[in-house]
Amino acid sequence: MLIYINMFLDKQSEPVKYAFFLLMFVFAQGASMWGQYFTLKYPNMGMVEAFLRAIPFAWIDWAFMSVAVYIGDRYKLVTPTQDTFLLIIIQFISIIAINYFWLKQTLTKSDIACFFIILLGFYISFSRVASKAVGIKVEDKKKDDNEKEDKKK
């Protein structure tokens, strides 16, 4: 399967690679969060039954997250830290959606404020604005890796 993904994505522009990466990431984490939280509506469900109902979602998460991480690494779309921030953001959105639509819990101002704080952290990491503000030299990993590949040729 990864061969077909490579054949497709190798010919695509950067925005298409990011879109495919995000699609895989969102699908994986959406499945994961649903598998973890959908059983909460059934408090009388036993532990074994809850496990048996949730484990297929963990397999879906594993399959699609493996592809997402592979794409992110192969095309150097994100750093491991940015992967983690993205994971947190998508899980947070998924949990809010499940709580609001499935478990019928209220969405508070604190929930929304927390989301924007997480987004701010992602922006700071991605743009490296804090490092630049204090004068810390930031290496461009993508540029360094491209130079190494050019030297090999």
Convert the pLDDT of each residue in 10-67 to its tens digit.
888 999 999 999 999 999 999 999 999 988 888 899 999 999 999 999 999 999 999 9
Contacts (Cβ under 8 Å, ≥6 apart) of 131: 138
Q: Average pLDDT, whole number, for the chain? A: 87
Its domain, for residue 42, covers 2-152
Q: What is the mean pLDDT of residues 93-121?
A: 91
Handedness of CA 118, 120, 126, 129 (dihedral sign): negative
* Whether the model pTM is above 0.85: no
Q: What is the pLDDT of residue 34?
A: 93
Phi-psi region of 135 (alpha: psi -120 to 50; beta: other; left: phi over 0): left
Segment 50-64, tens digit of pLDDT: 999 999 999 999 999
In the block, residue with structure tokens 């074994």: 48
Name the percent of the chain in helix, strand, coil, to the closest 5: 80, 0, 20
Average pLDDT over residues 112-132: 86
pLDDT at 90 over 80: yes
- Domains identified in the chain, total number: 1
Do residues 93 and 26 make contact, with C-beta atoms less than 8 angstroms apart? no
pLDDT at 143: 61
